[in-house]
């Protein structure tokens, strides 16, 4: 396994990062089996583990914490905050009030005194970015986190956060965690260049397009919508939807390309993401040991220019074949009132 420096932090992380969203009730509910998978990943040289407080309602963090007992110093541990945790108000978002409570709960579940990378899981337009950066800066000073970053932020909000940090003499986002795959290349247009400009590390999620590039979802074959990632979002795999028909046609072209290289489609998909100069690490999220082994077999795969050129022909750079983030959309798009003047003001004359 190769290692790259995470942004300007000086922290060296493996080019494959172990994602743990599938450990717990939404995926692999067997804690001991999940722990074995984590240990197997560490044994293959992965030293970067990413989780989040909301994964299975905190269960994923608990599993990771049990797996890292006695091995905490070996691992660069990342988790996230933002989404609703439990019932009641003020148990979500990016406010000082919630982050201070959430980090303590994550530390307890993880069984550790510190988090190497604490990430804001999504933007929060109800909270000033200065407030969020301020509390994260305080947590670094207190030694509870080593660095902090953002996840699935649009380019303009990354830039704003960098400018606010500079103006207010606050710590800044050191990393961004965006969705990135052959089927979702939209971040190549602005997010990745912005991250390069500010020297941010990038750890990309869903390199297999939420399982669509796993090799198991193929044209003219039945799809089991009751298990795995398909069960979490059946619409993303429904073969009758036009967007999925397009994805299935692209998958067939990619399978042919992978066969010509003598590799599997998942190996091709992950290797594509880590070939980009802005990407530090790709998050692989296995649910089973078999899935982990299959992904790690492709760790040595280096795509040549001809292969990358062919991928560009199949899915042009900067193109999203589908909307990769179903968990969050900007309120300027979802709230009609923010896109419409009052009726008396809409006419030009």
Name which of 20-34, 66-80, 90-104, 321-335 the model is least confident about: 321-335
Q: What is the mean pLDDT of residues 168-192?
A: 98
Mean pLDDT, rounded, for 24-34: 96
> What distance in Å separates the CA atoms of residue 281 and residue 258, rounded to the nearest whole number?
21
Dihedral in degrees, nearest 10, Cα atoms 331, 336, 340, 343: -150
What pLDDT sits at residue 97? 98
Mean pLDDT of the chain: 94
Q: What percent of the chain has pLDDT over 90?
A: 85
Cβ atoms of 114 and 146 within 8 Å: the answer is: yes
Question: What's the pLDDT score for residue 241?
Answer: 87
pLDDT band of 238, cuts 50, 70, 90:
confident
pLDDT category of residue 247 using cuts at 50, 70 and 90? very high
160 pLDDT more than 90:
yes
What is the spatial distance between Cα 196 and Cα 117, in angstroms, rounded to a whole number? 19
For residue range 84-99, list pLDDT tens digits in order: 999 999 999 999 999 9
- Indicate which residue of 55, 118, 180, 198 is catalytic: 55
| Helix, strand, coil shares, percent, the chain, to 5 | 45, 15, 45
Question: How much is the average pLDDT of 32-45?
Answer: 98
Q: What is the pLDDT of residues 267-320, one digit of tens each?
A: 999 999 999 999 999 999 999 999 999 999 999 999 999 999 999 999 999 999
User: Is 322 in the active site?
Assistant: no
Contact 283, 19 (CB under 8 A): yes
Distance between CA atoms of residues 10 and 99, nearest Å:
25
H/E element, 170: none
Please return the burial class of 55, using the count of CB atoms within 10 Å of its CB with bins 0-12, 13-18 and 19+. buried
Q: Where does the pLDDT of residue 237 fall: very low under 50, low under 70, confident under 90, or very high at 90 and above? A: confident
State residue 224's pLDDT score: 72
**What confidence category does residue 209 fall into, taking pLDDT thresholds of 50, 70 and 90?**
very high
φ, ψ (nearest 5 deg) of residue 282 = -110, 130
Across 168-177, 272-281, 332-341, least confident range: 332-341
């Amino acid at each position: 396994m190769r290692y790259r420096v995470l942004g300007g932090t000086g922290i060296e992380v493996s080019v494959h990062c172990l994602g743990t969203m599938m450990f717990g009730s939404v995926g692999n509910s067997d804690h001991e089996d999940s722990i074995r998978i984590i240990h197997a990943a560490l044994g293959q040289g992965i030293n970067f583990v990413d989780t989040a407080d909301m994964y299975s309602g905190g269960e994923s963090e608990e599993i990771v914490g049990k797996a890292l007992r006695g091995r905490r110093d070996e691992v660069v541990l990342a988790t996230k905050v933002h989404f609703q945790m439990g019932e009641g108000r003020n148990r979500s978002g990016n406010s000082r009030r919630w982050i201070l409570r959430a980090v303590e709960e994550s530390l307890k579940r993880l069984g550790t005194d510190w988090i190497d990378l604490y990430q804001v899981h999504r933007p929060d337009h109800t909270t000033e970015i200065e407030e969020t950066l301020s509390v994260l800066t305080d947590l670094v000073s207190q030694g509870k986190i080593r660095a902090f970053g953002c996840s699935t932020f649009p380019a303009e909000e990354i830039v704003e956060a960098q400018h606010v940090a500079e103006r207010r003499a606050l710590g800044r986002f050191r990393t961004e965690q965006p969705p990135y795959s052959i089927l979702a290349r939209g971040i190549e247009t602005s997010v990745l260049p912005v991250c390069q400009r500010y020297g941010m590390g990038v750890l990309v999620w869903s390199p297999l397009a939420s399982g669509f590039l796993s090799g198991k979802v193929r044209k003219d074959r039945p799809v089991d919508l009751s298990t795995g990632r398909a069960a979490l979002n059946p619409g993303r795999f429904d073969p009758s939807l036009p967007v999925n028909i397009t994805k299935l046609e692209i998958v067939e072209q990619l399978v042919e390309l992978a066969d010509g290289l003598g590799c599997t489609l998942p190996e091709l998909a992950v290797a594509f993401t880590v070939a980009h100069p802005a990407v530090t690490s790709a998050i692989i999220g296995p649910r089973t040991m078999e899935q982990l082994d299959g992904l790690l077999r492709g760790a040595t795969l280096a795509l040549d220019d001809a292969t990358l050129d062919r991928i560009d022909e199949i899915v042009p750079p900067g193109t999203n074949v589908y909307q990769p983030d179903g968990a969050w959309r900007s309120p300027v798009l979802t709230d009609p009132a923010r896109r419409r003047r009052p009726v008396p003001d809409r006419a030009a004359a």
